[in-house]
Structure 1
């Protein structure tokens, strides 16, 4: 072997060895853990390049400064196809997993809860307090919301949002979430309306949703919902007023201070079922599926009254005398509890 050949071979070995060391270093860097100590939400702006991404990760103390970041992206170009978005980074992730996530486009999902028994104003407040939602509604007036969702004239969202935990990605608009919940409610109500018992005293699906919202506010006991429904159905059929407190409270709006007086019960509003006949003009809260089903399938009974039993449920009765005795029993139970 000539001297020149030996030199060439030696240089080649050095280059191969250096390349092997570099490759090992890159592999080590890719497998190194992120420097975060708790879950972190990371937003990658649109148009961010490799250099800017590296600087952002280092400045936010997500990845340690390293000469191997750019080399890794060149050796594994599929990791360089990162997409703009907001991502959830876990403490157990390493650099390769981070870059794989950014390349996948699987953005973080955030929850917002629309709860059974709450009003439209409560839902809008929940949206306002959710930091990752893009707020586009200029205010929370029902007319503003109705216009944003392009509802028909006279149509309202009150009671017409499906209660659930809704997942969304960062910068999803408030209107988009409301549209999803509204469409789901319309779909479910349409199905339940078609499957309802015959001869119920409802003229429209809105009547059914209104009844379901009252049931939702009257009881949280699962096996009571169909009984509560039967009381109100029987009252509608016999021409009795519904006389349900939650409708009075809804009609009072902001003037309700937590306690109902006789004057409140006697003061007419469009929703005061102590002063109006039949159902109020619309729902008073978001009804859940169980209440919708109860409104569509009430148990057959002769019940006309119910009152709290002081134990978390209600006593159902068929006549005023029995109802009055149940009221007295409830008052005694409450008195005994207060005296303990």
Structure 2
């Protein structure tokens, strides 16, 4: 009986020593290949798989001891997927705490209102924290991958600042931006007043993109919308420069000439009635709201004052006087 008690006590002492040793090891700084050091835990990874990935990324951690530490805390199956960053001095215990709490590092990307998809894609392609799964894909292939039934991605993505796990897919970010645009557009469309000259949410989106390019001034958006809505109702040409510029594409050198206004294209609203065939930029929420809630006024013209604001007119004579005053230096 005494031998059995001694054996039991010896086992307890060994376990205590092992636990103490594990605790001491868990409190010692790990060796890192660089600091800070980034690594990613893929969705569905086990602790064993995550440890392999961490070691390959440059975290010199004892895989057996880290697994024991996790099991001791009954945490070996509770790690969170995502991107992580650790610094010199991080201990195994702190590392495990990060994995359990999901203290991931995030990338950030701002997609700007009024930019075209070409400009957006250039920014996506340059971002170092994204995985570039869209590289080499045509716009038609992107539309197919995203499940978007449209001839173009123009206007289909909502401008915002997006946070994401580092090295997540740029395709996923585009999908998020598209879902955000659909939510915003559907919400505004469902609350629209009666009598607007749009046959579909897509036409409202096209109008919003024109408003976005015509003015960045909050106070003028609903008035700009009123001008174009009133023109549509009367069957007048929209005659808006941004659509012509968009139609010129790479041929636009920054100077819109008379011959450009007289050159026919689907986007030349000086020659073709109605809305152009697609949005011409990515409109923000304020422009969506303006397109679906134009000011209650009968204005038909506007001209830039030169200070960022616009002068609005009801008649052509009023407009010509405003053009003479603000564009030609007349009195």
The correspondence of residues 23-34 of structure 1 with structure 2, limited to 5 A, is 27=23, 30-31=26-27
Do structure 1's residue 103 and structure 2's residue 106 form an aligned pair? no
Do structure 1's residue 137 and structure 2's residue 144 form an aligned pair? no
Unaligned runs of 5+ residues in structure 2 are none
Give the 3 Å change call, closer, same or farther, for CA 80–226 of structure 1 in structure 2. Answer: closer
Name 2:123's counterpart in structure 1.
Answer: 126
3-state SS of 2:75 partner: helix
Deviations along 1:97-132, whole A, 9 cap, x unmatched?
Answer: 221222345543322333211122222223322334
Give the 3 Å change call, closer, same or farther, for CA 234–63 of structure 1 in structure 2. Answer: same
Task: Please tell me whether the aligned partners of residues 301 and 315 of structure 2 are also in contact (alpha carbons under 8 angstroms).
Answer: yes
Deviations along 1:286-320, whole A, 9 cap, x unmatched?
Answer: 11111111111101112222122121211222223
Instruction: Find the aligned partners of 2:169 and 2:237 in 1 and give their Cα distance.
Output: 42
Instruction: Find the aligned partners of 2:168 and 2:224 in 1 and give their Cα distance.
Output: 39
Give the 3 Å change call, closer, same or farther, for CA 92–220 of structure 1 in structure 2. Answer: farther
Instruction: Find the aligned partners of 1:51 and 1:279 in 2 and give their Cα distance.
Output: 53
Structure with higher Rg: it is 1
TM-score for the superposition, normalised by structure 2:
0.80
Instruction: Find the aligned partners of 2:176 and 2:31 in 1 and give their Cα distance.
Output: 38
Name 2:263's counterpart in structure 1.
Answer: 267
How far apart are 1:222 and its partner, in Å? 1.0
The correspondence of residues 197-208 of structure 1 with structure 2, limited to 5 A, is 197-208=193-204
Aligned residues: 322
3-state SS of 1:177 partner: helix
Unaligned runs of 5+ residues in structure 1 are 336-340
82-91 or 263-272, larger mean C-alpha shift: 82-91
Give the 3 Å change call, closer, same or farther, for CA 204–31 of structure 1 in structure 2. Answer: same
How far apart are 1:176 and its partner, in Å? 2.8
Task: Please tell me whether the aligned partners of residues 80 and 103 of structure 1 are also in contact (alpha carbons under 8 angstroms).
Answer: no
Give the 3 Å change call, closer, same or farther, for CA 297–74 of structure 1 in structure 2. Answer: closer
Instruction: Find the aligned partners of 1:198 and 1:73 in 2 and give their Cα distance.
Output: 62
Name 1:113's counterpart in structure 2.
Answer: 110
How far apart are 1:243 and its partner, in Å? 1.1
Name 1:300's counterpart in structure 2.
Answer: 296
TM-score for the superposition, normalised by structure 1:
0.78
Name 1:249's counterpart in structure 2.
Answer: 245
Name 1:221's counterpart in structure 2.
Answer: 217
Q: What is the root-mean-square deviation in Å for CA atoms of aligned residues?
A: 3.7
The correspondence of residues 164-179 of structure 1 with structure 2, limited to 5 A, is 164-179=160-175
Name 1:338's counterpart in structure 2.
Answer: none
